[in-house]
Amino acid sequence: MNILVVGGGGREHAIIRKLKENPEVSAVYALPGNGGIARDAECFDIAATDIDGIVSFAKAHPVDYAVVAPDDPLVLGCVDALEAIGIPCFGPRANAAIIEGSKAFAKRLMKQYGIPTAAFETFDDPAQALAYLETAPVPIVVKADGLALGKGVIIAQTRDEARQAVVDMMEHGKFGRSGKTVVIEEYLTGPEVSVLAFTDGETVKPMVSSMDHKRAGENDTGLNTGGMGTVAPNPYYTDAVADTCMREIFLPTIRAMKAEGRPFKGCLYFGLMITPAGPRVIEYNCRFGDPETQVVLPLLDSDLLTVMQATTRGTLADTPVVSKRGAAACVIMASEGYPLHYEKGFEISIPEDVWPHVSVAGAKEQDGKLLTSGGRVLGVAAVRGTLEEALQSAYSMVSRIHFDHAYVRGDIGRRALQAREKQ
């Protein structure tokens, strides 16, 4: 089977590696892939958002199945476009990807169907948003409606900060059209859990839970990033919490999307906060998380292609989704200065025995060398019997990878270890 994978980051690298565990997979085409993915797939220089280019490629190559991994092409209708030329796809159509593409949609859905989330108001008019802020309690959260590269959420500690966020988004066009509508919502507290679940629109089967580390600095300080590391399973996601989530969040969400005429097929990412009052949805993503995928897929015992095809065909109820025992950790190596200014073009050296554990996010090949080309450069993931062992293994591999001005958070998994001790 020949599989087309749309995307070019660490998540896609992890997906491709897992797909290739199935001996029926003969060729994998990555659009655009990257210099590291090129070891595991044929990469073609077509952007993940170039839907016409992707369709032309798929017409010209023998593609049996496509996996659309990133949010933008899903929201832009990449699955719809590939299905229109007869290619079965993993991922939601545009009318379901809106669950990530519009926070206003997601919040309205949750309110209407009684799915627990932070209380909120949606505004199209800056004057009304500012008037609302006069009496709203702080801290308060201001969110751009549309996709904003993970940067469209402002946790305002004061009313002034909240006003500034509204003005920046709605009047000054920060985040462009994505910020013309804003959601202003209640500030919640509690540990965060990511749950990635397969669904065919009827049945939902979660994979192992995970914990992202979004801040750039140690002890969760500094700016938000695309993710500096992950561990799985997440110790805050106890069996009791998992039962509540299935009953109050996962199944109601799948049913709500179906009732809206937007059946969701693919991987639905539930960003949850375990508040003192119970689990709440912080966000939905219409895709695998990055870097959650790098720990969740290595712990998936079932064949990934089989499960993906079951979501496409609507046969997930009959298809087991089984996780391995043990724990996984992924440590991201970034460019110093990320997520603000950083330099690129440094040569990366990775020992051959470490390569199978590396998911490359931002690197390009030039004259036979692998050079850094992004803020997050690569992730190193390890699976072991315990979280301590997985972390030790991941950090020991990290110490054997070199590029100039690398930045690594030294405390990935620390909070998870501490949480486990308390339980």
Binding site for ligand AMP (CB under 6 A): 118, 141, 150, 153, 155, 185-188, 192, 214, 271, 282-283
Q: Which residues ranging from 197 to 216 are in contact with ligand GLY (CB under 6 A)?
A: 212
Q: Which residues ranging from 138 to 167 are in contact with ligand GLY (CB under 6 A)?
A: 150
Which of 187, 243 has the CB closer to ligand AMP? 187
What is the C-alpha to C-alpha distance for residues 96 and 332, in angstroms, rounded to an integer? Answer: 30
Residues 6+ apart with CB under 8 A from 114: 252
Residue nearest to ligand GLY (CB): 289
Q: Which residues ranging from 224 to 243 are in contact with ligand GLY (CB under 6 A)?
A: 227
Least separation in angstroms between residue 292's CB and ligand AMP is 12
**Whether 144 contacts 103, CB under 8 Å:** yes
**Whether 328 contacts 381, CB under 8 Å:** yes
What is the C-alpha to C-alpha distance for residues 82 and 77, in angstroms, rounded to an integer? Answer: 9
What is the C-alpha to C-alpha distance for residues 135 and 115, in angstroms, rounded to an integer? Answer: 26
Q: Give the torsion sign (CA, 94, 271, 220, 362).
A: negative
Describe the crossing of helices 304-313 and 10-19 by its angle, rounded to 10 degrees.
100
User: Tokens at residue 242, please?
Assistant: 């998992």
Measure the N-to-C terminal CA separation of the chain; round to a whole number of Å: 46
Out of 199, 285, 312, 319, which residue is the one contacting ligand GLY (CB under 6 A)? 285
Least separation in angstroms between residue 372's CB and ligand AMP is 26
Residues 6+ apart with CB under 8 A from 395: 331, 410
Look up residue 335 and give its DSSP letter. Answer: E
Which of 78, 154 has the CB closer to ligand AMP? 154
**Out of ligand GLY, ligand AMP, none, which partner does residue 292 contact, by CB within 5 to 8 A per kind?**
ligand GLY
292 binds ligand GLY (CB under 6 A): yes
What is the C-alpha to C-alpha distance for residues 225 and 220, in angstroms, rounded to an integer? Answer: 11
Least separation in angstroms between residue 312's CB and ligand GLY is 22
**Out of ligand GLY, ligand AMP, none, which partner does residue 188 contact, by CB within 5 to 8 A per kind?**
ligand AMP
178 binds ligand GLY (CB under 6 A): no
Least separation in angstroms between residue 233's CB and ligand GLY is 16
Burial class from Cβ neighbours inside 10 Å (0-12, 13-18, 19+) for residue 353 reads exposed
**Strand pairing of 376-384 and 406-407?**
unpaired
Where do we find the tokens 């001005």? 405
Q: Which stretch binds ligand GLY (CB under 6 A): 129-137, 247-255, 284-292, 304-312?
A: 284-292
Which of 227, 263 has the CB closer to ligand GLY? 227
User: Tokens at residue 387, please?
Assistant: 């979280």
**Out of ligand GLY, ligand AMP, none, which partner does residue 289 contact, by CB within 5 to 8 A per kind?**
ligand GLY
Q: Which residues ranging from 46 to 105 are in contact with ligand GLY (CB under 6 A)?
A: none
Out of 196, 290, 364, 378, which residue is the one contacting ligand GLY (CB under 6 A)? 290
Q: Is 7 left (phi over 0), alpha (psi -120 to 50) or beta?
A: left
User: Tokens at residue 311, please?
Assistant: 């979501």
**Out of ligand GLY, ligand AMP, none, which partner does residue 290 contact, by CB within 5 to 8 A per kind?**
ligand GLY
Q: Which stretch binds ligand GLY (CB under 6 A): 236-244, 272-280, 287-295, 410-418?
A: 287-295
**Out of ligand AMP, ligand GLY, none, which partner does residue 141 contact, by CB within 5 to 8 A per kind?**
ligand AMP
289 binds ligand GLY (CB under 6 A): yes
Binding site for ligand GLY (CB under 6 A): 150, 212, 227, 285, 289-290, 292
